[in-house]
Amino acid sequence: MTILRVAVDAPLDTLFDYLAPAAGPAPAPGTRVRVPFGRRRPVGLVMAHAPSSDLPPERLKPVQETLDEAPLFDPGLLQLLAWTARYYHEPPGSVAATALPAPLRQGRPLPEPPLRVSARGPAPDAMTRRAPKQAALLDLLSAGPRRADDPTLPAGWRATAARLAARGLVDIEPEPAAASWDMANPGPELNAAQADAVADVLASLGSFSARLLFGVTGSGKTEVYLAAAAECLRRGLQVLVLVPEIGLTPQLVQRFSARLGVPVATLHSGLGASARLAAWADARAGRAAVVIGTRSAAFVPLARPGLIIVDEEHDPSLRQHEGLRYSGRDVAVMRASISRIPVVLGSATPALESLRHAREGRYALARLPERPGAARHPAVRLVDLRRHPASEGLSGPLLRAMAQHLEKDGQVLLFLNRRGFAPALFCASCGWTADCRHCDARYTWHRRAARLRCHHCGHETALPPACPDCGADLRPAGEGTERLEEALVRRFPGVALARIDRDSTRRQGAVDRILDDVRDGRTRILVGTQMMAKGHDFPGVTLVGIINADQGLFGTDFRASERLAQTLVQVAGRAGRADRPGEVLVQTAYPEHPLLRRLLEGGYEAFAEATLEERRAAGWPPYSHLALLRAEADRPQRAMAFLAALRDAVRVPRTVTVLGPAPAPMEKRGGRWRAQLLLQSAARPALHRALDACSDAAPGLAESRGVRWFIEVDPQDLF
């Protein structure tokens, strides 16, 4: 009797045992099955076979339906899913659901291979006169075959292609999975550091290695990726590239497609369900040479995996903060280890965890210390806001520098990591402030929409015409990107300006249009949030202004200084990336702050070395390991009482320190009250044993009623 161990998406940290179907072979591990589960008939993923079950035979039920002829996941990916469930203490069904596109979770079949249309020769001269549509399609296809989903094919092409196929002029057949791709175009000549980095990656093909590519902004990390990828493709291997943000995906897709001349599949939340499924299927079948996606692409199956690249490996967006809380970067490293392939982690501002791994030899280290060609590092100056007060976020030195750079046909980028018009609205007469009714936070005023919005829970409300307490006029406090944009329009009339933040880029394609205008020189001033700081290349930008560098200087989270340093270095690195010198002005009221001085005098590496020593002395990550137990309830004391009872009920190893429970720094969010318990240990196994004990004890506590709780391993913030 074969027992199927099935992952079902349910809030239970276990696999479920089922009998194989009475007829036919048992579904292999990696195959989807439909199973009886209470009143539901969900789709599950077979994770393993077992010779017996802990359940009595009469309680075992057979699966109702086998949905796949062949497994969707190979043994290596199943091992990765199992590791992810164990490491992050998440139900295996939740992990399997994350790894499957939505249509497959619903039981839909894999899509059929896309059709490929190719011409047997150019259009005859006579056809151009008698059948111009057929001739135009033949001319298009003569440049190379096209997939049926290629957007460059003209409207109505299917009927035209069918007529041409009937005449033997066009072939329509399933898209093949190429064994190798050898169509790469030559790129710029690599400098010595780039060439060494590529050689090291290629020397490790076919075996596991983790390599940190530590290159200053503008040093050509993408050229290293492309050169290594080209050799992988020549050997018939696929390349997986992870990026932190959707906004980076189109730019990288364009560069990889143009250089390598191969099919590139994209996977991110901005795609529709059908498009994601098609890309996922192309990757699994080997039709896609390169897969570029955000964090969930770490789980995509590949027919012939050869290399994994994680771009901007430090970026917090590679971390999932809802549902399955995992790090796409760390999952990618584990996947490379299981698959015995190399992984490259690239950044100009590496995470301190990655730098420690490199210092201690667990990661190889490749440095790109200089920008290629004539490009040089920008000159950085601090603007002391105590001597040069800012009006609407703009100081005198910054305005004068902007005028000079614009006069010399340069472009200006201004960074302010705060969207909306103003982060607070208050009454100067009685002190009333517009506070979110669901959170311990203030509403942000969005002037164009005439709305107050909470950036934490998403609630919004109408703008009151006057103070609801005393009737006086309301005033904005602080600056957001909307207010900065309005001020710049008045200061620089007639100068083309664009704003890039989550509000201005909601429509599909908006980011691409804005960035294209910047690169083509049509936009002279660009204002935006951290969306601009992630890997974008703006050759015409000669001045970068950082409007408020003080937001992270005094944060309560121990990682606040690291995040601020990474953001400042990344934003500053957008200046002077071509042959014109760049300048960076950093507005601050604390020019003597040690963080700013370290960055100014020694760069990111000097900051990182000093911060690592501080972390070592304090025993904070990366010299210890953290996990948070977070609880939420509809009353303030419920979450605290649950965590206190859990702390008292569990005996943790002596090497694990338990801190709390304590209210979360933002105690009320989205109408629920939050508390947390912090576990810290220098030994990772001891930490996980403590978490296992907590997971076992929590459901049986009387205080757990009405409380939502979850575990977050390696939390990136303590909020």
User: pLDDT class for 124, splitting at 50, 70, 90?
Assistant: confident
Is the pLDDT at 531 greater than 80, yes or no?
Answer: no
- Give the residue-averaged pLDDT of 632-638: 92
Let me know if the fold of 3-105 is the same as that of 379-420+480-615.
no
Q: Which CATH number fits domain 379-420+480-615: 3.40.50.300, 3.40.190.10, 3.40.640.10, 3.10.180.10?
A: 3.40.50.300
Alpha-carbon gap, residue 256 to 253, rounded angstroms: 5
Tokens of 80: 């990765």
At residue 524, the pLDDT reads 93
Tokens of 580: 């014109």
Whether the link from the prior residue into 622 is cis, omega within 30° of 0, is: yes
Cα dihedral 107, 112, 113, 119 in deg (nearest 10): -150
Q: Which CATH number fits domain 192-368: 3.30.1490.20, 3.40.50.300, 3.30.420.40, 2.40.50.100?
A: 3.40.50.300
Calculate what percentage of the chain has a pLDDT beyond 70: 98
- Residue 358, Ramachandran bin (φ over 0: left; ψ between -120 and 50: alpha; else beta): alpha
pLDDT in tens, 368-392: 998 876 667 788 999 999 999 999 9
Of the candidates 216, 257, 261, the residue with the CA atom closest to the CA atom of residue 234? 261
Alpha-carbon gap, residue 336 to 310, rounded angstroms: 11
User: pLDDT class for 482, splitting at 50, 70, 90?
Assistant: very high
Instruction: Say if residues 259 and 185 touch (Cβ distance below 8 Å).
Output: yes
The one-letter code for the residue type at 596 is L
Is the pLDDT at 261 greater than 90, yes or no?
Answer: no
**Dihedral sign (CA 501, 505, 509, 515):** negative
Is the pLDDT at 222 greater than 90, yes or no?
Answer: yes
Tokens of 83: 């590791």
- Give the residue-averaged pLDDT of 527-539: 78
At residue 375, the pLDDT reads 63
At residue 535, the pLDDT reads 65
Alpha-carbon gap, residue 479 to 418, rounded angstroms: 8
Tokens 């990916």 locate to 77
Is the pLDDT at 183 greater than 90, yes or no?
Answer: no
Alpha-carbon gap, residue 126 to 578, rounded angstroms: 50
The DSSP 8-state label assigned to residue 719 in this structure reads: -
- Give the residue-averaged pLDDT of 306-331: 94
Is the pLDDT at 533 greater than 80, yes or no?
Answer: no
Please provide the CATH number assigned to the domain covering 625-713: 3.30.70
User: pLDDT class for 557, splitting at 50, 70, 90?
Assistant: confident
- Give the residue-averaged pLDDT of 287-314: 96
Which residues does residue 629 pair with via DSSP β-bridges, in sequence order? Answer: 677, 711
At residue 614, the pLDDT reads 93
- Give the residue-averaged pLDDT of 588-595: 92
At residue 527, the pLDDT reads 93
Instruction: Say if residues 246 and 515 touch (Cβ distance below 8 Å).
Output: no
Tokens 């103070």 locate to 467
Instruction: Say if residues 453 and 420 touch (Cβ distance below 8 Å).
Output: yes
Alpha-carbon gap, residue 324 to 198, rounded angstroms: 34
- Give the residue-averaged pLDDT of 568-589: 86
At residue 252, the pLDDT reads 85
Is the pLDDT at 83 greater than 90, yes or no?
Answer: yes
Is the pLDDT at 151 greater than 80, yes or no?
Answer: no
- Give the residue-averaged pLDDT of 25-35: 95
Tokens of 549: 């560098």
The verdict on domain 3-105 having CATH code 3.40.1440.60 is yes
Alpha-carbon gap, residue 408 to 411, rounded angstroms: 9
Is the pLDDT at 104 greater than 90, yes or no?
Answer: yes
The whole-chain average pLDDT of the chain stands at 91
Write down the domain spans for the chain: 3-105, 115-174, 192-368, 379-420+480-615, 625-713
Tell me which of 137 and 85 has the higher pLDDT. 85
Q: Coil, strand, or helix at residue 544? A: strand
Distances (CA, A) of 376 to 184, 538, 580: 29, 14, 8
